[in-house]
Amino acid sequence: MQSLDVLRRSPTADYVATVLSSVALTPTIKAIRLRLDRDELRFLPGQSVWPKFERDGRKFSKIYSIASSPSACPDIELCVSRVGWSSAVVQDLAIGQSLPLRGPYGLMTLSELPQRPRLYIAEGSGIAPLKSQIDWLRECGYKLPVWLVQANPETPDQLPYQPYWQQLQQTWPAFHYRDAIAQCPESVLVNLRLKLAAFDVVICAVGDRSDQLQETALALGAKPDQLRSEKFIAF
């Protein structure tokens, strides 16, 4: 297990993962828990791995964010939305089946405890890299405010990990959760009236939605140099 106070990333390397569990979080999103073949992966919360696939004799790879804290290694969790061939393969892996993958990759990370309050905005499986960061902050006993605004365009009234966030809000005083079920995340953000200039803002959503949420955050006072975002697109 990786210790909390020494957060570092290992060189990118190949691993073979074995499926420990595969659980539906919503009708389209699953959490897939994997155990790596060795305890060498060190990643920063927000990073990703590239599972490797073979189809019609051709090899290719797709990128998936790690949804669990670095402290859980050699176990990692993926949070995958079923949209096309690769995501269906990952979702349909049986318990005990193996999946070669390569990592870690990615720059939307945390490497030390942040000095400002944080606002996380997630849509759909975009919750994955944000969950890794939030889990790590909680484990560190982070005391500055951490807000999460969550929506899911695929099934708007069913949000991945929602019971977990609701429970976390009861047990971690710094954490504040708002679901965007009855209204869009933009309206939730307007109604929150947070002084965003004082916040680090982190956004993850699919395609153009990431840009749209970023524009909203900036219009509400977020500082461009305190805003990071990631866009889930198919390569």
Binding site for ligand FAD (CB under 6 A): 48, 62-65, 79-81, 83-87, 124-125, 128, 206-207, 230, 232-234
**Pick 53 or 172: Cβ nearer ligand FAD:** 53
**Pick 65 or 226: Cβ nearer ligand FAD:** 65
Min CB(173)–ligand FAD separation in Å: 28
**Pick 155 or 166: Cβ nearer ligand FAD:** 155
**Pick 1 or 233: Cβ nearer ligand FAD:** 233
**Pick 164 or 172: Cβ nearer ligand FAD:** 164
- Computed over its alpha carbons, how large is the radius of gyration of the chain? 17
Min CB(50)–ligand FAD separation in Å: 9
Residue 48 CA to residue 226 CA, distance in Å, equals 22
Min CB(177)–ligand FAD separation in Å: 20
Residue whose beta carbon is closest to ligand FAD: 84
Cβ count near 91 (within 10 Å): 17
**Pick 29 or 196: Cβ nearer ligand FAD:** 29
Min CB(208)–ligand FAD separation in Å: 10
Min CB(131)–ligand FAD separation in Å: 10
Q: Taking Cα atoms as reference points, which of 36, 48, 113 lies closest to residue 72? A: 36
**Pick 92 or 157: Cβ nearer ligand FAD:** 92
Min CB(130)–ligand FAD separation in Å: 10
Min CB(221)–ligand FAD separation in Å: 27
Residue 168 CA to residue 202 CA, distance in Å, equals 19
Q: Is residue 192 within 8 Å of residue 145, measured between CB atoms?
A: no
